[in-house]
Amino acid sequence: MSGLTGIDRVVYGVEDMARCRQFFSDWGLSLVSESAGEIVFETLEKSQIVLRPADDESLPPAIETGSTVREVVWGAASQTDLDAFLSRIASKVTLTEGADGLQRTTDSNGLTIAFQVSQRVDSGVKGTPTNTVDKANRIDQAAPVYPHAEPVRIAHVVFFVPDLEAARQFYVDTLGFNITDEYPGRGLFLRCVEEGTHHNLFLLQTPDKKRGLNHVSFQLRDIYEVTGGGIHVSKQGWETQLGPGRHPISSAFFWYFFCPAGALVEYYSDEDYFTADWQARQHEPVPENYAEWAIVGGISGDTRRQKYREESDLPPLKK
Ligand SMILES: [Fe+2]
């Protein structure tokens, strides 16, 4: 067990601050503060997206060219937990204290990660129950049609890594993350908690991309919000990469959009939840394990019907 509870903050270095500001506003985040050098958004539970100009020299080094994530800040439940975590890893990694007082290190991928007592709060929001054949969980209540999404939390981040074994040693052996599922030799789904949702971190080794961001993912309250949120983002003119759809691994309903801050962002809901009893599975990296089904190009915000794209535009079936 790592002692960490989840992602508190993702810091991007971006080439177009105004465009990224518009994107994350349309994405449904709340604006916390803005200046020429920094824009801060937050989710309902106060996990933060921070935007800074890519050439800001105070940013940690980039792991790829262009707009991308420059730092991930992980939260611990208390100062006691944070201190215990830091003392456990102190002999195995190089920790440096930044001007903000946070302890930082560099992961096996060259990405800067930092640690703090979590600033996240209980958002208090409730999802909508679904009715199954054996149990009416929603009685005298219609399921909602959401006009837009309000992301609850930054649930996971996904990176391409050049050396999956080095990543396993760093995050599992050194930091204490748990493996939930894996594509042997290709990908590791990791959760920083023993009991919790399917993954907070997914690391992917592919022949064609060595190092970089794949996506940042936002958990919504229920599957209805994934649909309503995605349609809203589409109506604002942002382009779907893939979605809506469903991942057989994690069970989540998803919708991926191209993001001007770098790579992709994802809305999702209805992810599997695990305890210490869960035994990590191994999966073949085949398309049907990535998506049970998915719509390429998304759904039009105007017609509410699927957008047609050429078969040749199909994105690679990798997570
Ligand atoms: Fe994801």
Determine the pLDDT at residue 36. Answer: 93
Mean pLDDT is lowest, of 23-27, 30-34, 159-163, 306-310, for 306-310
Rg of the chain (C-alpha set): 19
Q: What is the pLDDT of residues 64-77, one digit of tens each?
A: 999 999 999 999 99
What distance in angstroms lies between residue 79's CA and the mean position of ligand 1's atoms? 29
Q: Stretch 184-190: mean pLDDT, rounded? A: 96
Instruction: Tell me the C-alpha distance between 270 and 140, whole Å.
Output: 22
Contact 67, 54 (CB under 8 A): yes
What distance in angstroms lies between residue 160's CA and the mean position of ligand 1's atoms? 13
Residue type, 193: V
What distance in angstroms lies between residue 30's CA and the mean position of ligand 1's atoms? 21
Q: What is the pLDDT of residues 290-311, one digit of tens each?
A: 999 999 889 999 899 988 665 5
Q: What is the pLDDT of residues 148-167, one digit of tens each?
A: 999 999 999 999 999 999 99
What distance in angstroms lies between residue 151's CA and the mean position of ligand 1's atoms? 14
Determine the pLDDT at residue 2. Answer: 84
What distance in angstroms lies between residue 86's CA and the mean position of ligand 1's atoms? 27
Dihedral-angle region of residue 263 (phi above 0 means left; psi in -120 to 50 means alpha; beta otherwise): left
Burial label, 130 (beta-carbon count in 10 A; 0-12, 13-18, 19+) = middle
- Helices and strands (H, E) in the chain, number of each type: 5, 20
What distance in angstroms lies between residue 212's CA and the mean position of ligand 1's atoms? 15
What distance in angstroms lies between residue 131's CA and the mean position of ligand 1's atoms? 26
Q: Which residues contact 82 (CB under 8 A, 6 or more apart)?
A: 3, 76, 115, 116, 117
What distance in angstroms lies between residue 182's CA and the mean position of ligand 1's atoms? 14
What distance in angstroms lies between residue 18's CA and the mean position of ligand 1's atoms? 25
43 pLDDT band (50/70/90 cuts)?
A: very high
Per-state percent for the chain, helix, strand, coil, to nearest 5: 15, 35, 50
What distance in angstroms lies between residue 193's CA and the mean position of ligand 1's atoms? 17
Side-chain-facing half-sphere of 31: CA atoms under 13 Å: 13
Determine the pLDDT at residue 169. Answer: 98
Determine the pLDDT at residue 209. Answer: 74
312 pLDDT band (50/70/90 cuts)?
A: low
- Across the chain, mean pLDDT equals 95
What distance in angstroms lies between residue 141's CA and the mean position of ligand 1's atoms? 30
What distance in angstroms lies between residue 302's CA and the mean position of ligand 1's atoms? 26
What distance in angstroms lies between residue 55's CA and the mean position of ligand 1's atoms? 28
Q: What is the pLDDT of residues 117-142, one digit of tens each?
A: 999 999 999 999 999 999 999 999 99
Determine the pLDDT at residue 309. Answer: 61
What distance in angstroms lies between residue 174's CA and the mean position of ligand 1's atoms? 24
What distance in angstroms lies between residue 270's CA and the mean position of ligand 1's atoms? 12
Please report which helix (H) or strand (E) contains residue 298, including its range. none
Q: What percent of the chain has pLDDT over 70?
A: 96
Cα dihedral across residues 215, 56, 114, 96: positive or negative: positive
Q: Stretch 249-265: mean pLDDT, rounded? A: 97
41 pLDDT band (50/70/90 cuts)?
A: very high
Determine the pLDDT at residue 319. Answer: 45
Contact 250, 271 (CB under 8 A): yes
Q: Stretch 208-229: mean pLDDT, rounded? A: 95
